[in-house]
Structure 1
Amino acid sequence: MPQAPQEPESRQAKAAKIAANPSGYKVCEGCDSIVGAGAVLCPNCHSYRFDDSAERVIFQAKALGAREQTSVTAGDLS
């Protein structure tokens, strides 16, 4: 019997995961998106300026996790 597709991880759960490991992420200074620490360009706005301080990553994760998504991502277009 096929399994039902799993629901995508909630924004709050993603935010908690990011806040628990802020060194693995950084915040885009162009659009305030959170990206992986290895990103060179932001996939959303193509900025190359980032804030990788733990305080900023945790603050932004909590802010984004507490509200609805407003940006259009590549996943939304497929």
Structure 2
Amino acid sequence: MSEKQSNESRKATAARIASDPSGYKVCEGCDSIVGGATMLCPNCHSFRFDGAAQRVIDQANLLGSREQTSVTSSDLG
């Protein structure tokens, strides 16, 4: 797999998140999905999150349906 996740891997991750949205939340700074215990977004350092289940499901479906466009820490290393 390349540095960016493959489309199939992204779809599988999105499906897993959407099936149990209670463990996740969406960063209001960059729209990344992070774990429910996250206090500071690892991508943009925001501290504002939306933990509503429907918001997490919608964002997971959106992110899983397109190619990765955001820069992650693994891109920088």
Is TM more than 0.5 here?
A: yes
Using structure 1 for the length normalisation, give the TM-score.
0.87
2:71 counterpart residue number: 72
User: Which residue number in structure 2 is paired with residue 4 of structure 1?
Assistant: none
Q: How does 1:54-73 map to 2 (within 5 A)?
A: 54-73=53-72
2:70 counterpart SS class = coil
1:3 aligns with: none
Give the corresponding residue for 2:32: 33
Q: Which amino acid aligns with 1:27?
A: V
Q: TM (normalized to structure 2)?
A: 0.88
Report which of the two structures shows the higher radius of gyration computed on alpha carbons: 1
What's the RMSD between the two structures over aligned residues? 1.6
Can you give the 5+ residue segments of structure 2 that lack an aligned partner in the other structure?
Answer: none
- Unpaired runs of 5+ in structure 1? 1-6
Structure with the largest fraction of helix: 2
Distance apart, 1:16 and its partner CA: 0.2
* Divergent runs of 4+, >2 A: none
